[in-house]
Amino acid sequence: MKRRNFIGSVTLGGSLLSAPFENPEAGNAVSGKQNIAKPATLTADLVIAGGGLGGCAAALAALRNGLSVILTEETDWIGGQISQQGVPPDEHQWIETHGATKAYRQFRTAVREYYQKNYPLTAEAKTRKNLNPGDGSVSKLCHEPRVAVAVLTDLLNPYLSSGKLTLLLEHKIVAAEVKGNKVQALTAQNRRNKAQVTLTAPYFADATELGDLLPMTGTEYVTGAESKAQTGEFHAPEKADPENVQAFTVCYAIDYRPGENHVIEKPREYDFWKNYVPKMAKPWSGRLLDLSYSNPKTLEPKQLGFHPEGIPTGNNLNLWLYRRIINKANFAPGTYAGDITIVNWPQNDYTLGNLIGASEKDFDKHFERGKQLSLSLLYWLQTEAPRPDGGKGWPGIRLRKDVMGTEDGLAKYPYVRESRRIKALFTIKEEHVGAEQRASITGQSAGVKAAAFEDSVGIGYYHIDLHPSTGGDNYIDFGSLPFQIPLGALLPVRMENILPANKNIGTTHITNGCYRLHPVEWSIGEAVGLLVKYSTDKNVSPRTVRDIEEFLKDFQKFVRREGIETEWKG
Task: Express each pLDDT in 267-293 by its tens digit.
Answer: 999 999 999 999 999 999 999 999 999
Taking the C-alpha atoms of residue 22 and residue 9, their distance in angstroms, rounded to an integer, is 23
Interval 136-149 mean pLDDT = 97
pTM summary value: 0.94
Residue-wise pLDDT tens digits, 375-434? 999 999 999 999 999 999 999 999 999 999 999 999 999 999 999 999 999 999 999 999
What is the structure's pLDDT at 15?
A: 29
Percent of the chain with pLDDT over 70: 93
What is the structure's pLDDT at 282?
A: 97
At 38, the pLDDT band (50, 70, 90 cuts) reads low
What is the structure's pLDDT at 112?
A: 98
Residue-wise pLDDT tens digits, 48-93? 999 999 999 999 999 999 999 999 999 999 999 999 999 999 999 9
What is the structure's pLDDT at 26?
A: 37
Task: Reply yes or no on whether the pLDDT at 230 is more than 80.
Answer: yes
**End-to-end C-alpha distance for the chain, whole angstroms:** 51
What is the structure's pLDDT at 152?
A: 98
Percent of the chain with pLDDT over 90: 92
In the DSSP assignment, the letter for residue 252 is E
At 205, the pLDDT band (50, 70, 90 cuts) reads very high
Interval 559-568 mean pLDDT = 98
Mean pLDDT of the chain: 93
Interval 515-528 mean pLDDT = 98
What is the structure's pLDDT at 366?
A: 98
Q: Reduced to 3 states, what is the DSSP secondary structure of residue 477?
A: strand
Taking the C-alpha atoms of residue 294 and residue 281, their distance in angstroms, rounded to an integer, is 13
- Beta pairing partners, 305: 318
Distances (CA, A) of 499 to 195, 211, 509, 537: 26, 11, 19, 17
Interval 338-355 mean pLDDT = 98
Interval 237-259 mean pLDDT = 98
What is the structure's pLDDT at 32?
A: 47
Judge contact between 338 and 308, C-beta under 8 A. yes
Distance of CA 289 to the CA centre of its chain: 25
Judge contact between 344 and 415, C-beta under 8 A. yes
Taking the C-alpha atoms of residue 61 and residue 55, their distance in angstroms, rounded to an integer, is 10
Task: Reply yes or no on whether the pLDDT at 2 is more than 70.
Answer: no
At 445, the pLDDT band (50, 70, 90 cuts) reads confident
